[in-house]
Chains A and B, each alone.
Chain A
Amino acid sequence: MSTASASDVPLSEATTSLQRSASFTRLKESGIRSLLFLCAALSILTTLGIIAVLFSNAIYDVSPRQVGRDGEVRPNEAFFQQVSVTEFVTETRWTPGYTEKHFGIMPLVCGTLMISGIAALIGLPIGLCSAIYLSEYAAPRTRAIVKPVLEILAGIPTVVYGYFALVFVTPYVLRPIFQDMLGFDVGVFNAASAGIVVGIMIIPMISSLSEDVLRSVPRSLREAAYALGSTRVDVSTRVVVPAALSGIIASFLLAISRAIGETMAVTIAAGQTAIVTADPLGSVATMTSYIVNVSKGDAVIGSIEEKSIYAVGLTLFLMTLVMNIISQFVLRRFREVYN
Chain B
Amino acid sequence: MSDQEIEYAALLKGRHRISTYFEWVCRIATISALLFLAVLLAGVTWQAWGWLDTQFLTGFDSRRPAKAGLLAGLWGTSWLIFFTAILTVPVGVGAAIYLEEYATDNRLTRLIKLNLSNLAGVPSIVYGMLGVTAFVRMFGMLSAADGWTIAIALGFGTLEIPLPLGRCLLAGSFTLSLLILPVVIIASQEALRAVPPSIRHASYALGATEWQTIRHQVLPAAVPGITTGIILALSRAMGETAPLIVVGAMSYVAFAPGNLDTPMGAVQDPQRVLDAPFDVFTSITIQITNWIEQPKEEFQNLAAAGSLVLLILLVVFNATAIVIRNRAQKKITW
Contact = CB atoms under 8 A, between A and B. Distances in A.
B222 interface: no
Given A33-B102, A43-B95, A317-B122, 13 more contacts: A28-B211, A36-B98, A42-B95, A43-B185, A53-B129, A158-B239, A160-B288, A164-B43, A232-B19, A234-B19, A258-B121, A262-B123, A291-B246
A73 interface: no
B94 A36 contact: yes
Given A132-B26, A291-B129, A231 B34 contact: no
A32 B32 CA distance: 51
A163 B290 CA distance: 11
A157 B314 contact: yes
B9 interface: no
A231 B210 contact: no
B118 A316 contact: no
Contact of B29 (A37, A133, A295): A133
A156 interface: yes
A63 B134 CA distance: 13
25 contacts: A39-B90, A40-B185, A43-B95, A43-B115, A43-B116, A44-B111, A47-B115, A50-B126, A126-B29, A126-B33, A149-B37, A155-B235, A163-B303, A163-B307, A164-B40, A203-B33, A232-B19, A233-B21, A257-B121, A288-B125, A288-B242, A295-B248, A316-B125, A321-B121, A328-B117
B30 A232 contact: no
Contacts of A233: 15, 18-19, 21-23
Contacts of B91: 39, 42
Given A43-B116, A164-B40, A317-B126, A231 B29 contact: no
8 nearest interchain CB pairs? A261-B123, A157-B239, A129-B29, A39-B94, A133-B26, A36-B98, A263-B242, A231-B19
Contacts of A150: 30, 33-34, 37
B246 A295 contact: yes
A66 B141 CA distance: 9
Interface of A: 25, 28-29, 32-33, 35-37, 39-44, 46-47, 49-50, 53-54, 57, 63, 66, 69, 76, 125-127, 129-130, 132-134, 136-138, 146, 149-150, 152-153, 155-164, 166-168, 200, 203-204, 207, 231-234, 236-237, 254, 257-258, 260-264, 267-268, 288, 291-292, 295-296, 301, 309-310, 313, 316-317, 320-321, 323-325, 328
Q: From DSSP, what is the main secondary structure of chain A's interface residues?
A: helix
Contact of A47 (B118, B141, B185, B314): B118
A325 B23 CA distance: 34
A310 B318 CA distance: 35
Contacts of A126: 29, 32-33
A158 to B, nearest CB: 7
Nearest to A264: B241
B99 A40 contact: yes
Nearest to B301: A167
A232 B23 contact: yes
B265 interface: no
A135 B208 CA distance: 45
Interface of B: 15-16, 18-19, 21-23, 25-30, 32-34, 36-37, 39-40, 43-44, 47, 90-92, 94-95, 97-99, 102-103, 111-112, 114-119, 121-130, 132-134, 137, 139-141, 143, 145, 178, 181-182, 185, 209-211, 235-236, 238-242, 245-246, 248, 251, 285, 288-289, 292-293, 300, 303-304, 307, 310-311, 314, 318
B251 A296 contact: yes
A324 B251 CA distance: 33
Given A44-B111, A57-B133, A321-B118, A163 B44 contact: yes
B185, B246, B251, most chain A CB atoms within 10 A? B246
A203 B29 CA distance: 10
Given A36-B102, A146-B34, A156-B311, A321 B209 contact: no
Contacts of A258: 121
Contacts of A232: 19, 22-23
A200 B245 contact: no
A258 to B, nearest CB: 8
A125 B141 contact: no
Given A40-B103, A320-B123, A129 B30 contact: yes
Nearest to B102: A33
A292 B246 contact: yes
A310 B126 CA distance: 9
Contact of A268 (B15, B19, B289): B289
B124 A263 contact: yes
Nearest to B286: A159
A27 to B, nearest CB: 11
B203 to A, nearest CB: 14
Contacts of B235: 155
Contact of A159 (B27, B127, B289): B289
B118 A37 contact: no
Contacts of A129: 25-26, 28-30
Contacts of B128: 291, 295
A150 B33 CA distance: 7
B27 A254 contact: no
Contacts of B236: 155
B139 A63 contact: yes
B124 A44 contact: no
A69 B15 CA distance: 80
A252 B27 CA distance: 20
Contacts of B15: 231, 233-234
A157 B22 contact: no
Contact of B241 (A158, A167, A237): A158
Contacts of B94: 35-36, 39-40
B112 A63 contact: no
Contact of A162 (B27, B122, B292): B292
A150 B38 CA distance: 11
Contact of B30 (A33, A43, A133): A133
Given A33-B102, A231-B16, A46 B130 contact: yes
